Amino acid sequence: MSDFQTSKSTFLKKVVAIIEDNLADEHFGVTELADSISMSRSNLLRKVKQETGESVSVLIRNVRLHNAKQLLKDDTLTVSEISYQVGFSSTSYFTKCFRELYGYTPGEAGSRAKLEQEQEAAEEAQPTSQDKRNMTWPLIISSLAIVAVMLFFYFDKQKPVQNNLSKSIAVLPFKNDSADSTNIYFMNGLMEAILDNFQKIEDIKVTSRTTVEKYRGIAKTIPELSKELNVSYFIEGSGQKIGNEILLTIQLIEAPSDKHLWSKRYKREINDVFELQSEVAKSIAGEINAIITPAERERIEKIPTNNLVAYDHYLKGKALLDDETGEGLREGLAEFKKAIQEDGQFAQAYAYIAISYYYLDLYQTEQKYTEDLKSYADKAMELDSALGESLIARSLYYMQTRDFNKAIDSFEEVLEYYPNVAWVHNFLSNIYGLILPDTEKYLTHALQGIRVAVAGQDSATASYTYLHLSNALAQSGFINEAETYIKKSLEYNPDNLYSQYLYVYIKMARDFDLVRTKKELLEVLAQDTTRVDIIQEVAKVCYTMKDYKEAWQYYDRFIKLKEALQLDIYQSEDIKIGYVLEQLGRKEEAKRYYNSYLKYAENDQSMYRDLSLSAYYATMGDTDKAMDHLKAFSEQDNYQYWIVLFLDKDPIIPQMTDHPDYQKVMKKIKDKFWAKHKEIRVMLEKKDVIQPLKGDL
């Protein structure tokens, strides 16, 4: 048993032992480990994450590196030999990983080991106290001098000559040189495929396609773009498709100086399109000294289909999906189906059919495509379970069927393959923020999403990830910090109405001024009077103010819009609607909403089930039963600050005020929230992503 296993759990010791048994096999990864330990991949990912705080792939890599460190003590082996012995086929990648983990290169490991051995030998000699006083400083000074000289010569000879530019790039929209405008989809597809290949290389930071697309047709210099996008390199491309030939010119430009570093003109047969995409990515990575791991190289070189007619339909489908109006969704779906008619083994096309069905059903009262979504997602996974699109399709199926625990596992697996995808963190943030509330996990994914979204310079995604972070902080009671990040969200996208009305509530949390809150919400609503979510927020504020007549005006609009759009959202509002109708004397109508709400509350999977049932029985006048459920809710943890803030101001819950246990239970709910708030504060202050928190309410 290696030192790596010391003080670890029985499970982790077993995992490490299996990894060490397969150390030299560079292809031994997460899937192979899961098979060896007889666990599902998702359960393995979750268990290792719980025990180590790291992903399985990181654990495997660290076990390899730990064993390499031990082998490096033997100066009869070269660094290259050791890298192969521990499962690294690339010595340069091995060196990079080793330096990142230990802070020095494998070449330095031998001299460090000798120094440690000399120090241990000196300690074993055990000189007298007087000897120690006489000898310690000369020995230390002498040893340091020798090491300094060694390191000077080592770094002087080994340090490569390179510039100080970061490995950050933006792929500018390719120009279609053909007079045939119908070829634009092909050139855009070629650009996106090359950009996707760069995104598979962890050593390169890539600006998102949506951000760069905004610069299509805008006349700005490279230095100007560099300043706006904060990247070191730009890639420009132009070309055309003529019959069965592709002509493509690619240029690599050093951004700050506008210096052309590299260019190449390609003339290839259409049959070589995938090789062309791979070659461009690998060539440019080499030019900027980016390291490509063996696994990354394999992903870059993977050919999605051997049928070029199928690939052509696939590119047309992708182009239609990119239509921001959403009108191209069904047309894109038809193109993907044509692709699989041409190639029944085309996993990416199956995955995109499933993804399209998910978005066709999104928020709809009647979900028509669940079985289709499952069928195509299953087929994509069957054909290629290591494909990002396949994993995403499966995750969306679990979202569709509201199997949120499986959705979490599946999205975590997507992140195992593609850790730098902000929208996946946003999906997980939504689950932990709204569906299966867990404030700490909500904050964690919001913070991780910020890293990748901002690094990618995607303004829209960055705005939403800052929105998630602000909301997570507000839900945890950190109102000052929430205001800081909601302002950042609005800086990235001032038109983000979600951020606008969250900001209204953040300000309200300080003084609970509902009159001002309603006024500001109406200002947000005026920008888009069809926003169902904002209409119900205005209605909710009027309800809290006990202005039931005005509350009904907005709830009536809310109901009609929901029905017109066939939306299955905001079922939790039914109790407020019922209560408002009852206060207006419309008791028969109120019953219908109360019954609908009871069905919703009884099927609620979240921690708020008992709180929902407490509210229902309070409206029914059954105070004892309402209090029983409120007590049950008080045993929960990780609930949102908005619950604490509104609980005793809601017109329904205070109907239990006369119950002898009411005050005690309400105090318990608030005390538990603030105790959890303190725990989260410690967690946040340990994160290097944000500054230590300065205060709270």
- Cα gap 226→258, rounded to integer Å: 9
DSSP string, 374-424: HHHHHHHHHH-TT-HHHHHHHHHHHHHTT-HHHHHHHHHHHHHH-TT-HHH
Q: Comparing C-alpha atoms, which of 593, 613, 611 is closest to residue 602?
A: 613
Q: Report how far apart the first and last C-alpha atoms of the chain are (Å, whole number).
A: 51
- Cα gap 86→73, rounded to integer Å: 14
Q: Is the pLDDT of residue 133 over 70?
A: no
| Lowest-confidence segment of 107-116, 477-486, 515-524, 662-671 by average pLDDT | 107-116
Q: What are the tens digits of pLDDT across the range 396-453? A: 999 899 888 888 888 888 877 666 666 777 788 778 877 777 777 777 777 776 665 5
More confident residue, 139 or 133: 133
Please state which CATH class domain 168-301 belongs to. alpha beta
Pairing of strands 233-242, 245-254: antiparallel
Q: Which pLDDT score is estimated for 344?
A: 95
Element at 493 (helix H, strand E): none
Q: What are the tens digits of pLDDT across the range 552-593? A: 999 999 999 988 888 778 889 999 999 999 999 999 999 999
The pTM of the full predicted model, rounded to 2 decimals, is 0.61
- Cα gap 387→347, rounded to integer Å: 8
Return the domain boundaries, the chain: 3-126, 168-301, 308-418
| Lowest-confidence segment of 3-12, 199-208, 438-447, 469-478 by average pLDDT | 3-12
Type of residue at 330: R
- Topology (CATH level 3) of domain 308-418: 1.25.40
Q: Which pLDDT score is estimated for 4?
A: 53
CB-count burial class (<10 Å; 0-12, 13-18, 19+) for 120: exposed
Element at 635 (helix H, strand E): none
DSSP state letter for 434: I
Please answer whether residues 492 and 464 qualify as being in contact, where contact means their C-beta atoms are separated by less than 8 angstroms. Answer: no
Q: What are the tens digits of pLDDT across the range 303-318? A: 899 999 999 999 889 8
Q: What is the greatest pairwise CA distance in the chain? A: 97
Q: Which two tokens stand for residue 621?
A: 């006048």
Distance of CA 156 to CAs 95, 111, 148, 150, 577, Å?
A: 18, 16, 12, 10, 75
Q: Comparing C-alpha atoms, which of 70, 88, 76 is closest to residue 24?
A: 88
HEC sequence for 119-155: HHHHHHHCCCHHHHHHHHHHHHHHHHHHHHHHHHHHH
DSSP string, 277-305: HHHHHHHHHHHTT----HHHHHHHH--S-
Angle between helices 273-287 and 294-301 (to 10 degrees): 150
φ/ψ of 634, rounded to 5, equals -65, -15
Range 631-657 burial, b when 16+ CB lie within 10 A, else e: bebbebebbbbebbbebeebbbbebbe
Return the SS3 of 242: strand
Q: Comparing C-alpha atoms, which of 515, 517, 552 is closest to residue 536?
A: 552
Rg (CA), the chain: 30
Considering 259-273, 469-483, 616-630, the range whose residues carry the highest mean pLDDT is 616-630
Q: How many residues does the chain have?
A: 697
Q: Which two tokens stand for residue 232?
A: 């070191």
Q: Which pLDDT score is estimated for 263?
A: 87
Q: Which pLDDT score is estimated for 150?
A: 31
Q: Is the pLDDT of residue 338 over 90?
A: yes
133: Cβ–Cβ under 8 A, 6 or more apart, which residues? none
DSSP state letter for 254: E
Q: Which pLDDT score is estimated for 459?
A: 65
Average pLDDT, the chain: 81
Q: Which pLDDT score is estimated for 295?
A: 78
The number of angstroms, rounded, from the C-alpha of 217 to the middle of its chain's C-alpha atoms is 31
Tell me the sheet residues that pair with 176.
Answer: 239
Considering 78-92, 246-260, 339-353, 391-405, the range whose residues carry the highest mean pLDDT is 339-353
Q: Comparing C-alpha atoms, which of 418, 425, 406, 351 is closest to residue 40?
A: 406
Q: Is the pLDDT of residue 486 over 80?
A: yes
- Topology (CATH level 3) of domain 3-126: Arc Repressor Mutant, subunit A (1.10.10)
Q: Is the pLDDT of residue 382 over 90?
A: yes
Q: Is the pLDDT of residue 260 over 80?
A: yes
Return the SS3 of 261: strand
Q: Comparing C-alpha atoms, which of 375, 305, 401 is closest to residue 344?
A: 305
- 625: confidence class by pLDDT, cuts 50, 70, 90: very high
Q: Is the pLDDT of residue 614 over 90?
A: yes
| Alpha carbons within 13 A on the beta-carbon side of 261 | 20
φ/ψ of 344, rounded to 5, equals -70, -5
Pairing of strands 175-176, 233-242: parallel
Q: Which pLDDT score is estimated for 422?
A: 66
> Do the domains 168-301 and 3-126 match in fold?
no
Q: What are the tens digits of pLDDT across the range 63-97? A: 888 888 888 877 777 877 788 888 877 776 777 77
